[in-house]
Amino acid sequence: MDSSASTLIVAFLVLAAPVLTRAVARWVKVPILVFELVLGIIAGPSVFNWVQQSDVLANLSTFGVDILFFVAGTEVTRSAMHGRTAHRAWLGWVISIAAGIGAGFLISPGLGAVIIGISLASTALGTLMPILRDSGVLGTPLGDSVGAIGVIGEFGPIFAISLFLGSRSFGAAGLVLIGFVVVAVLALIQVSRASHHRLHDFVEATLHTSAQFAVRAVIAILTLLVFLANFLDIDILVGAFTAGILWRLMIRDADEDTRQSVEAKIDAVAFGFLVPIFFVYTGIKFDLQALLHEPLAIALIPAFLVGLLVIRGIPSMLAAPEGSTWSEKISVGLFGATGLPIIVVVSEIGMQQDVLDSADAAILVGGGLFSVLIFPLIAVFLRDRAAAPART
């Protein structure tokens, strides 16, 4: 099948995902990306072979993961970087990455251990945000804790990817990364101190015109920092994440209605177009046959889920709000153990570097997929049960 036909089918798969999500919502709230991944698997070579990999879809998928991490960067708040919650979230992540790499060495010494460790130490903030928003958790102390865990659970792994999985040696990669961070921090400090009234006026003036300056500015900033990261041979997700933080600082003092309108437009571009293509295309590339032909590989998916719970979930509980009940602490841990986008990215890197084969990558991505399907549902249930006595 040619690339244009594959692109057409992907467009309708993207359209079908929210319809299916809404159809099952009366029984269970399934994150939309689960349907996007599953539809990609069904339409891809593993099942019906309706869609083939193509350069067009690959490029759109790359833009999708870039803007996903840009949006994650815009979710960074002061509470995620300072104070008790942030300190405990960082401590939890350090424990997770150390335990994850340690567990990885027992399975696959070398770079394989690093890939497994990064996968086990990740949290899917971009995936969790809609769930937190829809369930009323966002804006609560528990939501702030999960937000800090999620920011660090994406921020830490993308830096680990640049350090351990880049083409440079560890020392050289560390120096380049430190240089990038120093320049980025100086830029962020300058942006945070500067006045952006002219920018806000221009954004507001073009908000409902064909100029759409805010959207164009976001794409330009994102592209610039991704290009810079790629030029320095740093993982491009570092650039995308930094771009999101930069944009948040530039727009934070704008009128609230303007900020909400800009956020809605960015969400439309990200979650209405590019991010769904990333997840559908990930499903298309998912090697289901590799799992089916290796019964042991299928058995390892539950083991990976347990690893996420123990290695990422338990340390995440350290950042639970003060005075939390055990139900709330477990809820925080389950949210923290929910991981997929980083797992997808690091699995692809592992295959590109011939560290993982398709079955290994399928185990990691399959485990991440089930974590998104299972953990947030239980977490929201436990949080609601803990909140019920307070409402009575």
User: What does pTM read for this prediction?
Assistant: 0.84
pLDDT at position 78 is 59
CB 341 within 8 A of CB 119: no
Whole-angstrom distance, CA of residue 255 vs CA of residue 358: 49
Examine the pLDDT at 81 and tell me if it is beyond 80: no
Query: For residue range 210-231, what is the model confidence (pLDDT) as tens digits?
Result: 999 999 999 999 999 999 988 8
CB 38 within 8 A of CB 208: no
C-alpha span between 72 and 235 (Å, rounded): 16
Stretch 118-123: mean pLDDT: 94
Instruction: Tell me the per-residue pLDDT of 132-151, one tens digit each, with 9 for 90 and over.
Output: 877 778 778 888 899 889 88
Contact in structure between 10 and 280 (CB atoms under 8 Å):
yes
d(CA 9, CA 265): 25
* pLDDT of amino acid 389: 60
Q: What pLDDT does 331 receive?
A: 95
| Domains of the chain in sequence order | 3-391 (1.20.1530.20)
Neighbours of 298 (CB within 10 A): 15
Q: Kindly tell me the burial class for residue 308, based on how many C-beta atoms sit within 10 Å of its own C-beta (0-12, 13-18, 19 or more).
A: buried
pLDDT tens, position by position, 304-353 = 999 999 999 999 999 999 888 999 999 999 999 999 888 988 998 898 88
- Mean pLDDT over all residues of the chain? 87
Q: Is 258 helix (H, G, I), strand (E, B) or coil?
A: helix
How many whole angstroms separate alpha carbon 107 and alpha carbon 363? 13
What pLDDT is stored for residue 117 in this prediction?
A: 95
Which contacts (CB < 8 Å, 24+ apart) does range 241-244 have?
Answer: 241/69, 241/70, 241/72, 241/73, 241/154, 241/155, 241/158, 242/73, 242/184, 242/188, 243/70, 243/73, 244/69, 244/70, 244/71, 244/72, 244/73, 244/74, 244/75, 244/76
pLDDT tens digit sequence for 18-39: 999 999 988 877 778 889 989 9
Asked whether 312 and 128 are in contact (CB, 8 A), the reply is: no
SS3 sequence, 298-343? HHHHHHHHHHHHHHHHHHHHHHCCCCCCHHHHHHHHHHHCCCCHHH
Q: Burial of 48 by CB count in 10 Å (0-12 exposed, 13-18 middle, 19+ buried)?
A: exposed
pLDDT surpasses 90 at 158: no
Any idea what DSSP says for residue 225? H
- Measure the CA–CA gap between 363 and 366, rounded to whole angstroms: 5
- Banded pLDDT at 80 (limits 50, 70, 90): low
* Structural tokens at position 146: 């999960």
Chain centroid to Cα 300, Å, comes to: 23
- Going by pLDDT thresholds of 50, 70 and 90, the confidence category of residue 168 is low
pLDDT-derived band at 284, boundaries 50, 70, 90: very high
When mean pLDDT is compared across 40-49, 186-195, 274-283, the lowest value belongs to 186-195
Q: Tell me how far apart the alpha carbons of residues 37 and 24 are, in angstroms, rounded to a whole number.
A: 16
Q: Tokens representing 156?
A: 């830490």
pLDDT at 118: 95
Return the number of other C-beta atoms located less than 10 Å from residue 25's C-beta. Answer: 11
114 confidence band (pLDDT: 50, 70, 90)? very high
pLDDT of residue 167: 66
The whole-angstrom separation of Cα 308 and Cα 327 is 18
Burial of 12 (0-12, 13-18, 19+ CB in 10 A): exposed
**Statement: residue 202 has pLDDT above 90:** yes
